[in-house]
C-alpha cells in the first residue's frame, strides 16, 4: 500500500512579511503517527516548533488534536505554533466557522477568527483586500509569577553575560529575568552553556522598551535544553 503524503505548511507568525517573524511548521495528519516519527519530522524541519493537527469528528465546534515538538522534545504549550495552526485552518478553508478548539497537553485551547477593522473600529467589509484579512484571538492559560528563592544568582549573571539585572522570577517552567532597559535586552550576549545549566526549561529576558519604539517592553527567550538557542520573532 502506498504511503499517504502528509500536507504541511510553514507559517511565519507575528509578522506580515515572508521570512520574518517566528516560523512554525504545521502538519495535517490524516492518520495517527508514532512519537518517534513526529519527533523525527520536527528534527528534519529544525525550526523552533513543528505542530501536528488531527481532526476530531462529531463536535459542533471544529475541534483538532494539537501537539507541538521542538527539534529535540515535545512541549506542553506553544503560542506561535498554535497561532500558525489556526491561521492555516482559517486561511485554507479547512474550517468554515470562526471558532476552533484545540485539544492539547495543556487542556482545550480556544481560538477565534476576528474580522479586520478599519480605523473607526467597524469591520472592514467594503475593501475586498482588507475584507480577506482577519485577526486571531487565542484564549491561553496564564502562568503565575512566583519568587525565585535562591541566594546564588551567579549562574544567571553568567548566562546573561553580566547584564544589569533588576529582578528574577519564576513563571511556569521558565526563569524570568528583568533587566534595566529594552536596550539591555537587545544587547545581551547569551551564554548558552550557562543557560542550559539553569533550572527549568528556559530563560526569558525582558526590559521596558524605549518610548519611541511604540512597544511596552522587549523580550527574548532562550531554551537550549529544548533545542532552541533563541526563539525568533
Please tell me the predicted confidence (pLDDT) of residue 132. 60
Q: How far is CA 98 from the centre of its chain?
A: 21
- Alpha carbon distance 28, 9 (integer Å): 9
In angstroms, rounded to a whole number, what is the distance separating the alpha carbons of residues 84 and 175?
25
Beta carbons within 8 Å of 16's beta carbon, 6+ residues apart: none
Q: Residue ranges per domain, the chain? A: 7-139, 145-226
What's the CATH number for 145-226? 3.10.310.10
Instruction: Give the active site residues.
Output: 49
Q: What pLDDT does residue 1 have?
A: 55
pLDDT of residue 181: 96
Q: Concatenated DSSP letters for 82-132? A: HHHHHHHHHHHTS--SSEEEEEETTEEEEEEEEE-B-TTSSB--SSHHHHT
- Those residues whose C-beta lies under 8 Å from the C-beta of residue 128, and which sit 6 or more positions away, are none
Q: Residues 171-184: pLDDT tens digits?
A: 999 999 999 999 99
| CATH pick for 7-139 out of 3.30.70.1230, 2.160.20.10, 3.10.310.10, 3.30.1280.10 | 3.10.310.10
Mean pLDDT per 10-residue segment, the chain (233 residues): 85 92 96 96 97 96 98 96 98 95 98 76 45 85 91 91 95 95 96 95 96 95 95 73
Amino acid at each position: 500500500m502506498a504511503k499517504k503524503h502528509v500536507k504541511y505548511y510553514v507559517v511565519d507568525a507575528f509578522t506580515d512579511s515572508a521570512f520574518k517573524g517566528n516560523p512554525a511548521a504545521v502538519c495535517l495528519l490524516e492518520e495517527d503517527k508514532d512519537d518517534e516519527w513526529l519527533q523525527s519530522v520536527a528534527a528534519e524541519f529544525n525550526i523552533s516548533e513543528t505542530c501536528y493537527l488531527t481532526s476530531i469528528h462529531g463536535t459542533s465546534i471544529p475541534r483538532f488534536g494539537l501537539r507541538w515538538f521542538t527539534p529535540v522534545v515535545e512541549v506542553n504549550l506553544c503560542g506561535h505554533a498554535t497561532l500558525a495552526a489556526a491561521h492555516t485552518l482559517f486561511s485554507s478553508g479547512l474550517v468554515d466557522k470562526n471558532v476552533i478548539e484545540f485539544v492539547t497537553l495543556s487542556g482545550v485551547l480556544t481560538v477565534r477568527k476576528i474580522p479586520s477593522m478599519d480605523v473607526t473600529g467597524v469591520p472592514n467589509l467594503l475593501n475586498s483586500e482588507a475584507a480577506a484579512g482577519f485577526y486571531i484571538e487565542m484564549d491561553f492559560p496564564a502562568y503565575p509569577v512566583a519568587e525565585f528563592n535562591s541566594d546564588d544568582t551567579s549562574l544567571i549573571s553568567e548566562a546573561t553575560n553580566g547584564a544589569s539585572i533588576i529582578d528574577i522570577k519564576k513563571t511556569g517552567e521558565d526563569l524570568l529575568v528583568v533587566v534595566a532597559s529594552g536596550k539591555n535586552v537587545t544587547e545581551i550576549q547569551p551564554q548558552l552553556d550557562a543557560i542550559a545549566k539553569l533550572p527549568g526549561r528556559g530563560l526569558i529576558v525582558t526590559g521596558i522598551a524605549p518610548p519611541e519604539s511604540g512597544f511596552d517592553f522587549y523580550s527574548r527567550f532562550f531554551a537550549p535544553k529544548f533545542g532552541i538557542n533563541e526563539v525568533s520573532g
